[in-house]
Amino acid sequence: MLELGAQGPALHTSCGRAAVEAGLDLVVGVRGNAEHLAAAACSSGVSALFLADAEAAGKWMSENLRKGDLVLLKGSRGVKLEQALSIYLDHKSN
């Protein structure tokens, strides 16, 4: 969602609120405007955190995800969130 320009912060905030309405247990924002997403979820009562980049997200996933967890990875191509999945899968295969 890097391509959203000046509307990016407000739209990320709206997504954070929508995550709360959807009943998610945890919201993790990765890089840039995703900080607004995590902050909105947190201020609305859902556990949330913000990570600096895809590498940090992959490490966090490797250390925190457990069998049965359901994860949605969504990010702008510029965030390269697929790297987080690669890091997680590499860690799990070792």
C-alpha dihedral (40, 43, 47, 52), degrees to nearest 10? 50
| Rounded distance between C-alpha atoms, residue 78 and residue 94, angstroms | 28
| Domain parsing of the chain, residue ranges | 2-93
Residue 53 neighbours by CB under 8 Å, 6+ apart: 30, 31, 79
Q: Give the predicted TM-score (pTM) of the model.
A: 0.87
Write out the chain's pLDDT in tens, 94 residues: 567 889 999 999 999 999 999 999 999 999 999 999 999 999 999 999 999 999 999 999 999 999 999 998 888 788 999 999 999 999 988 7
